[in-house]
Structure 1
Amino acid sequence: MERFESQRDCRLSCGRYGAVWPMPTGPTISLSHSRVHFDPQQIRFNVSAPSEATRLFLHETRRLFVGNLRKECPRNCTVASGARIVIEATVNSESLVLDWRTHENYKLAISSTETGTLVAIQATTVYGARHALETVSNLVTGSVTSGLLLVSDVIISDRPYYAHRGLLLDTSRNFIPLRYVRRAIDGMAASKMNVLHWHVVDAESFPLEITRVPQLQLYGAYSSSHTYSRKQVLQLMQYARLRGIRIIIEIAGPAHANSGWQWGPDEGLDSLAVCLESSPWAPHCAASPCGQLNPVNDNMYAVLKAIFRQVAEMGAPEETIHMGGHGVHTSCWNGTEQIRQKMLSQGYDLSEESFRRLWAQFHQRNLLAWDEINRHAYPSLPEPKPVILWSSRLTDPDAIESYLSQERFIIQTLVNSHDSLNRLLLDRGYRLIVSTRNAWCLSDGFDGFGSEYHSWRRVYENEMPQCSDRRQVLGGEVCLWSESVDQNSLESRLWPRAGAAAERFWSNPKAMRAYQIERRFYRYRDRLLDRGIQAEAVTPRYCVLHEGMCEQYYYGD
């Protein structure tokens, strides 16, 4: 019978996946019940990488890895005669590109003898090597005396099931200081998530500095201290990239446009947005404050192009943009005399179909601007980059092919799990990012509109749509809108529930129920706490300490 120092020690290798979160996807996994006792400061690293840039990346990855290990030490990390541990990491590709085609696979082998322990990592890219070190940190826990314990012998092969494993963070309704955004990125890295979808502007505020159009922030930010400068955004993108995460910025439009767009008439640019003073707002907008961009004003497109240019310049050459597309009310445009007259002069009638065509032309014109910007900024790109839009009336399966190209537009669906939209769009060849409304909207239950809170079990058990061509389902995102969230509640709303979705995105576990993985999940939550992330409690501590005693409490007979 094996004897372990503590429950955490046991969990390192009890069960097929031990304490590894998310579960590995490869056919081979082997975890020994033996341990090695070590001091994290005594680990030696040997890195084999094909370029100076990849070696520098792995150097930073190593620093972050050791920092996380030190947080596992219950008292101090010093071990007078600890095991000799050598980590050898081999990366084959010199590419630092992080997109939907990036290889994030790795193989991990830990072998121990009387003379020491070898941790061998093989990965195609630096991002796979980063994930491997994250897995190694899951195979470590603090010793009850001092120092750390590591599973002595391990074999794991692993790769993500989905290329897009995202978190939408809204920092426009309530401003979120960047140190809290960085903490969210730390939680994502601990969960092997790889996309921060930054919903940085909305009708309520425009905190993003656009150097070519300073009026947007001047008129749109809550105050001069509630802003994100261009320099800060670049630093945040670097911070995320070193943790295997790309940042996709969303510029909401044509709806959700008010703060930051009011100044056009004062500067001779006519109305950049319309319906700004609508009262009552409900007939014209999805929410207050009301406002939609003016699709017949060329000056509005020039301002958008300046925004897109800065987004392109701040991001990596391969990065794309989210162009919004959610919440459009054509009644707003139909109630604006300037738009009505312009449409009639161009041969439109004022039917719902005509306004949808106007809406589609808005996105097509912005796509052309995005393409032009990227051709000039990154002439070596092999092909135009697709952009992302929310599902809407424009993505109705019976009409979408008349409005939006399969090759150029990726659709992020925000519908309930029983809705047929995902299946119908996949049947028509569209690529999807899935955000299931009744499972992965983490702000639900707090918004004051009677929405239902989604427990981590609901988040975990929500399944992705299936498709014969797996490449069409790029992956999924959990969403945290900030109507009722600021830095004081951010972490408890996100964690550990976002991590439950992270295993769905990485592993796509088949026929796996929450009760089958809850012990690993409890350990994952404790790991977040050790790293300083204030993840909410999901069960009485008794249930964590007394495994198997609470199933009836949660699941009945």
Structure 2
Amino acid sequence: MTGKHSCLGLLVWALLLIQSSQAFFSLPSPWGYRCASQNGTCIKEEKTGISGFTTLAHCKLTCGPHGVIWPKPKTSELGNEVVQFLPSNIDYRISAHPEVSALLREALAVFKNNLDQYNPKYSDGTELWNDQYDSKTVAHKVFIDITVSGMDTHLTLDTDESYTLAVLTKEDKTTATIIASNFFGARHALETLSQLIDYDENTKTLILVSTAMISDSPAFSYRGILLDTSRNFISVKAIERTLDAMAANKLNTFHWHITDSHSFPLYMPSLPKMAYYGAYSASQIYYPADVKHVVKYGRVRGIRVLPEFDAPAHVGNGFQWGPQHGLGNLVVCENREPWQSFCVEPPCGQLNIANPNMYDVLGQIYKEMVDLFGPIDLFHYGGDEVNLNCWNTTDEVTDWMTENGFGLDEKAYYNQWSVFQEKSQDLLTKANNGKKVPGIIWTSHLTEAGRADVYLNPHDYIIQIWTTGVDPLIGELLDKNFRVIFSNYDHWYLDCGFGAWVGEGNNWCSPYKGWQAVYDNSPIKIATNLTTSFDRKLVLGGEAALWTEQADDAVLDSRLWPRGSALAERLWSDPDHNWQPAETRLIHQRQRLVQRGIQADRIQPQWCHQNEGLCYL
């Protein structure tokens, strides 16, 4: 054989080998699954020709009282069978107010896009949809019938997010009937419906639970994720992924800590020098169109975007332009050293309470933020970690305090801090066309034992608790009728457990908070342990916080997820058990997030996902 023919023969042999290899691996899996009804676990066994085995996807969708729905619904009844269908065979009908209908059409587009991402792909990017289907699959229709009675399209603390979802199959048609009192409940129902669907590797089709009845509503009205975009800039695309993941977990509040002493990345048309002096670079700025896009993107996914302007501390870079424009020093202690004496972390800075021009600028910041984020139902004032030594070692402030007879002791500064907060509330109300909305502030020296109701009105303020879950202050705040949001750092600070970013060792709130610790952190149990009696309605919910000293786009998804999913089930379902019964569903929810383009952290080998209940201590 010549060299030419030899090469040709080798090529033909290689092609045949590749084809046979692909044919081999396209055969159905030798493994099958059956549902152990006593504990709702999918058991993996080798198929022996005996009927009763299903694919893993089929088993997970139908096994146990809730299948793989996350967060766990209030009540659910799922059938054992599935139907095969193609995503092109979905149709819908909406009965709702026109504005609600418009939002629902956008939510349905999100729903369909999520389904398109369910099918896996070959390494070359080719989708694993079949090119030939049986006639039954081709003919099967899925019809989504949505009825919304109310007109609400903006979330509030009083929004009813409940829904019912009924799935019924008759011959070649499956109807999913959704009933809700507003857009938000209907959107949640669509998310649940998407979790009754998966890709089947044997038939290379989508499969849907053939019958289901679900009635659902959240345990808490406030279910949030805080993202800090000042310490490190987070791109709009990364924020979109965060909102996508929140929607997949029925979280409803994206708390945007958009500025801090480190940077001021928000461009305000009436105050352009803020971003000019405060942004890290010209490419790391949120323009008005960006903010409005994020707000709309969130709303379509059932999420309020809550703005925070943290003050009077946690300000600095961005305010340097004041003296050049005849406004004097708007901020004191800016970048002052040694920083440990004047703030909790570098760089330092606090608003100059002695300069009346500061309030003019503050009012304009509020007006810009209301215009960008509105209509607002809440506003976060920040209000934590004021360093009295900063004010008390600044001549401009101490001279002003003395001239006005305020004094220079600790109480005098707390009084002026509370005056600042009153003025801030008035300025925000004016910016919001005279409409007062509840303000949220962090626990701080102003809310310490015996102080909160002296300086703050419980009707006007919600206290966000970032101290530990055993802090007696929690009981005192509830006894004084303050509404509270839990973010206790011993369980719900997601930046904990990494190397220190100043000095060495681990960061201040170590150790790392695993998803199990996140899941088991119960606001109601904490409150019950710290006060003899309280109004359950005062506990609005909770929020996991990601401060970004050590995070940016590169690690954002893995910092938040799937630990944010554990938070979501705690706040939506408030289960009466610990994390263990939820583990197999959480592992699947992580898989689902990855299917949808969220780079969620891997928390177990895939073997555990395919062999439920065998990865235990």
Deviation of residue 316 (structure 1)? Answer: 2.9
Task: Kindly provide the amino acid, as one letter, of the partner of residue 597 in structure 2.
Answer: G
In structure 2, what is the Cα distance between the partners aligned to 1:181 and 1:12? 30
In structure 2, what is the Cα distance between the partners aligned to 1:244 and 1:93? 15
Task: Kindly provide the amino acid, as one letter, of the partner of residue 209 in structure 1.
Answer: Y
Once the two structures are superposed, the pairs formed by residues 188-337 of structure 1 within 5 Å of their partners are 188-337=246-395
In structure 2, what is the Cα distance between the partners aligned to 1:468 and 1:39? 51
State whether residues 224 and 251 of structure 2, in contact with CA within 8 Å, keep that contact through their aligned partners in structure 1. Answer: yes
Query: Which of 357, 367, 389 is the matching residue for 2:441?
Result: 389
Secondary structure in structure 2 of the residue aligned to 1:81: helix
Task: Kindly provide the amino acid, as one letter, of the partner of residue 464 in structure 1.
Answer: P
In structure 2, what is the Cα distance between the partners aligned to 1:276 and 1:67? 47
Task: Kindly provide the amino acid, as one letter, of the partner of residue 512 in structure 2.
Answer: Y
- Partner in structure 1 of residue 562 of structure 2: 496
State whether residues 479 and 534 of structure 2, in contact with CA within 8 Å, keep that contact through their aligned partners in structure 1. Answer: no
Deviation of residue 447 (structure 1)? Answer: 4.9
- Partner in structure 1 of residue 209 of structure 2: 151
- Partner in structure 2 of residue 407 of structure 1: 459
- Partner in structure 2 of residue 96 of structure 1: 153
State whether residues 267 and 285 of structure 2, in contact with CA within 8 Å, keep that contact through their aligned partners in structure 1. Answer: yes
Query: Which of 86, 98, 103 is the matching residue for 1:39?
Result: 86
- Partner in structure 1 of residue 517 of structure 2: 458
Structure 1 stretches lacking a partner, 5+ long = 553-557
CA offsets 1:119-166 (integer angstroms, 9 cap, x no match):
111001011011001001111111122211111110110011111110
* 1:59 lines up with 2:84 in the alignment: no
CA offsets 1:233-258 (integer angstroms, 9 cap, x no match):
01111111100011111111111111
Task: Kindly provide the amino acid, as one letter, of the partner of residue 76 in structure 1.
Answer: W
* 1:537 lines up with 2:602 in the alignment: yes
Once the two structures are superposed, the pairs formed by residues 63-78 of structure 1 within 5 Å of their partners are 63-74=109-120, 75-76=128-129
* 1:549 lines up with 2:596 in the alignment: no
In structure 2, what is the Cα distance between the partners aligned to 1:46 and 1:277? 58
Task: Kindly provide the amino acid, as one letter, of the partner of residue 387 in structure 1.
Answer: G
Once the two structures are superposed, the pairs formed by residues 361-510 of structure 1 within 5 Å of their partners are 361-375=419-433, 384-448=436-500, 449=507, 451-465=510-524, 466=527, 468-510=534-576
Task: Kindly provide the amino acid, as one letter, of the partner of residue 551 in structure 1.
Answer: Y
* 1:124 lines up with 2:171 in the alignment: no
Relative to structure 1, the CA distance from residue 361 to residue 156 in structure 2 (aligned partners, 3 Å threshold; closer, same or farther) is same
Relative to structure 1, the CA distance from residue 224 to residue 165 in structure 2 (aligned partners, 3 Å threshold; closer, same or farther) is same
State whether residues 443 and 482 of structure 1, in contact with CA within 8 Å, keep that contact through their aligned partners in structure 2. Answer: yes
Secondary structure in structure 2 of the residue aligned to 1:157: strand
Secondary structure in structure 2 of the residue aligned to 1:160: coil
Relative to structure 1, the CA distance from residue 214 to residue 139 in structure 2 (aligned partners, 3 Å threshold; closer, same or farther) is same
In structure 2, what is the Cα distance between the partners aligned to 1:72 and 1:285? 48
Task: Kindly provide the amino acid, as one letter, of the partner of residue 130 in structure 1.
Answer: R
Once the two structures are superposed, the pairs formed by residues 158-169 of structure 1 within 5 Å of their partners are 158-169=216-227
Deviation of residue 289 (structure 1)? Answer: 0.6
In structure 1, what is the Cα distance between the partners aligned to 2:363 and 2:564? 33
- Range that drifts further, 68-77 or 532-541: 68-77
Secondary structure in structure 2 of the residue aligned to 1:165: strand
In structure 2, what is the Cα distance between the partners aligned to 1:126 and 1:200? 27
In structure 1, what is the Cα distance between the partners aligned to 2:111 and 2:130? 14
State whether residues 91 and 123 of structure 1, in contact with CA within 8 Å, keep that contact through their aligned partners in structure 2. Answer: yes
Secondary structure in structure 1 of the residue aligned to 2:159: coil
Task: Kindly provide the amino acid, as one letter, of the partner of residue 107 in structure 2.
Answer: T
- Range that drifts further, 67-76 or 397-406: 67-76
Query: Which of 126, 137, 140 is the matching residue for 2:197?
Result: 140
In structure 1, what is the Cα distance between the partners aligned to 2:516 and 2:53? 29
State whether residues 196 and 247 of structure 1, in contact with CA within 8 Å, keep that contact through their aligned partners in structure 2. Answer: yes
Deviation of residue 543 (structure 1)? Answer: 2.0
Secondary structure in structure 1 of the residue aligned to 2:608: helix
State whether residues 379 and 437 of structure 2, in contact with CA within 8 Å, keep that contact through their aligned partners in structure 1. Answer: no
Relative to structure 1, the CA distance from residue 489 to residue 77 in structure 2 (aligned partners, 3 Å threshold; closer, same or farther) is farther
Deviation of residue 347 (structure 1)? Answer: 1.7
In structure 2, what is the Cα distance between the partners aligned to 1:386 and 1:67? 36
Task: Kindly provide the amino acid, as one letter, of the partner of residue 478 in structure 2.
Answer: L
- Partner in structure 1 of residue 56 of structure 2: 7
Deviation of residue 86 (structure 1)? Answer: 1.2
In structure 1, what is the Cα distance between the partners aligned to 2:336 and 2:103? 51
* 1:17 lines up with 2:75 in the alignment: no
Task: Kindly provide the amino acid, as one letter, of the partner of residue 42 in structure 1.
Answer: N
Task: Kindly provide the amino acid, as one letter, of the partner of residue 482 in structure 2.
Answer: Y
| TM-score, length basis structure 1 | 0.95
- Partner in structure 1 of residue 18 of structure 2: none
In structure 2, what is the Cα distance between the partners aligned to 1:541 and 1:116? 34
In structure 2, what is the Cα distance between the partners aligned to 1:490 and 1:64? 22
Secondary structure in structure 1 of the residue aligned to 2:339: coil
Task: Kindly provide the amino acid, as one letter, of the partner of residue 541 in structure 2.
Answer: G
Relative to structure 1, the CA distance from residue 536 to residue 254 in structure 2 (aligned partners, 3 Å threshold; closer, same or farther) is same
CA offsets 1:303-336 (integer angstroms, 9 cap, x no match):
1111100111122324332111111111110111
Aligned CA-pair RMSD: 1.4
Task: Kindly provide the amino acid, as one letter, of the partner of residue 81 in structure 1.
Answer: K
In structure 2, what is the Cα distance between the partners aligned to 1:306 and 1:47? 41
Secondary structure in structure 1 of the residue aligned to 2:111: helix
In structure 2, what is the Cα distance between the partners aligned to 1:282 and 1:482? 20
- Partner in structure 2 of residue 555 of structure 1: none
- Partner in structure 2 of residue 105 of structure 1: 162
Deviation of residue 266 (structure 1)? Answer: 2.0
| TM-score, length basis structure 2 | 0.86
State whether residues 255 and 307 of structure 2, in contact with CA within 8 Å, keep that contact through their aligned partners in structure 1. Answer: yes
Deviation of residue 201 (structure 1)? Answer: 0.4
Relative to structure 1, the CA distance from residue 4 to residue 63 in structure 2 (aligned partners, 3 Å threshold; closer, same or farther) is farther
Secondary structure in structure 2 of the residue aligned to 1:551: coil
% identical aligned pairs = 39
Secondary structure in structure 2 of the residue aligned to 1:169: strand
Once the two structures are superposed, the pairs formed by residues 323-362 of structure 1 within 5 Å of their partners are 323-362=381-420
Deviation of residue 115 (structure 1)? Answer: 4.0
Deviation of residue 105 (structure 1)? Answer: 0.6
Structure 2 stretches lacking a partner, 5+ long = 1-33, 36-51, 121-127, 501-506, 528-532
Secondary structure in structure 1 of the residue aligned to 2:136: coil
